[in-house]
Structure 1
């Protein structure tokens, strides 16, 4: 166990599945306090919360869309309200549209940009704002994928 992660407050966007789920559970194994963000599937998020708690951590779930500023603000505010602070912000939420570029609609393009880039910006901004206002040396982790290397 990494003793420096015990009781750290960690927000994981897109924490109900895939890499986000794995990171959230791993922080739970380190006895961190994890805020699992999800957009649509509450049941998956509740399963992750249960895994975190069974692993020795604490967890809450927070529904929110990272493309919406008010949802990201609420995510950080909820972490602080429930656990007293914020130490780590993991901007993990992401989407893809597995179609060739010339077939991608502008609407789908905007969904990808809004989720993958704007979502990471909003999460980073809100976490950094909290860190600066409270003189905290926190961490922001922005996840990516291999899709910049294998574009459609």
Structure 2
């Protein structure tokens, strides 16, 4: 059997203590990656994930940081570069979801969904890109949402679809801009996933 393309790749996955992020982290680890996970408040789940990841590679870790805060995000990337040297793959997974009619969504809720889906993807990508450019290689995978790239109307998920449409646009701009540096940027837009 061919060696996994993930073998010894250093992969950062935002929001990986629970849900889809956890599944992505475990699958990457099973395929030989050195996984750097992240959580904001799910410490118990993060500790459990860390134990599982270390079964596959002792270098894997899960690091706490609130990625909605710019200073914590910068500090996290400093730790990643100090501890792991570089990133091969960034997976922008984290993102809040809200399910309610548009006229019932508060400004704070709208902001939280935009911040956690779009602004975190922007900031993590920005911090990962410079070292990737210097190395002449890297991969960024942004999590979109099925339909967000086509303007599908989902009245009960307006903030989420706006944020994910932004993520898709961000992905297209990053892909066009950074391909010349050997950096591949793609989006995956899954449908509903039970997590």
* TM-score normalised by L of structure 1: 0.90
Question: How far off its partner does 1:87 sit?
Answer: 0.7
What 5-or-longer segments of structure 1 have no aligned partner? Answer: none
Aligned to 2:169: none
The match for 2:72 is 71
Q: Aligned residues, how many?
A: 151
**Which residue of 2 is the match for residue 110 of structure 1?**
111
Q: Where do 1:77-96 residues align within 5 Å?
A: 77-96=78-97
Preserved CA contact (<8 Å) 1:9 1:88: yes
Counterpart of 1:11 in structure 2 is 12
Shift of the alpha carbon at 1:2?
Answer: 4.4
Q: Which runs of 4+ in 1 moved over 3 A?
A: 55-58, 146-151
Counterparts of 1:131-150 in structure 2, within 5 Å, are 131-132=132-133, 134-146=134-146, 148=148, 149=152, 150=154
Partner residue, 1:127: 128
Q: Which runs of 5+ in 2 are unaligned?
A: 157-195
1:27 and 2:25 matched: no
- Give the alignment's Cα RMSD to 1 decimal: 1.8
Report the Cα offset of residue 112 of structure 1: 0.6
Displacement after TM superposition at 1:136 (Å): 3.5
How far 1:26 sits from its partner (Å)? Answer: 0.8
Residue aligning to 2:191: none
Distance (Å, rounded) in 2 between the aligned partners of 1:59 and 1:147: 34
Structure of higher CA gyration radius: 2
Of the structure 1 ranges 117-126 and 25-34, higher mean CA displacement relative to structure 2 is found in 25-34
Secondary structure in 2 aligned to 1:97?
coil
Distance 1:151 1:65, change over 3 A: farther
